[in-house]
Amino acid sequence: MSKMGQHFIGLIEEGKVYEDHNGDLIMSEEIYPIEKGLEVPRSVTNQRRWDKLPFRKMEAGDSFVVDGLHTKGDEMSLRGRATRENNNHTEKFYSVVKNPEADNSFRVFRVK
């Protein structure tokens, strides 16, 4: 028997996986017990911080500056927001570039 097969048999024996009526393996919900009363981290509550960016008001050729992005994570978050706009509105395209005029600053362009 393969290592993968042994792994699944072990998961079934531990009650972490079960077979449904079609023979498919289903993960047991007990693997991820729900915990209550924990404080929500700032990183989760801060996910709406890009909502006020003026993507929808922009026309092709417009740009705006976002200052204060001190970490690579901040930069990647802004880039991810622009990517979501690109994916949600395929007739438009946004690009994020480092702003040479200031440190920790990026400029978002609407290209089309």
Has residue 15 been placed in a domain? Answer: yes
Distance separating alpha carbons of residues 8 and 48, to the nearest angstrom: 39
pLDDT of residue 29: 64
Instruction: Report how far apart, in Å, the C-alpha atoms of 16 and of each of 2, 8, 23, 31 are.
Output: 19, 9, 15, 6
Q: Where in the sequence is the domain holding 84, given as residue range(s)?
A: 53-110
pLDDT of residue 66: 93
Has residue 47 been placed in a domain? Answer: no
pLDDT tens-digit map of 56-93: 899 999 999 999 988 998 899 899 999 999 998 889 99
60 in the same domain as 25: no
Has residue 18 been placed in a domain? Answer: yes
pLDDT of residue 86: 92
Has residue 105 been placed in a domain? Answer: yes
Q: Which residue from 108, 106, 101, 111 is spatially nearest to 74, judged by alpha carbons? A: 106
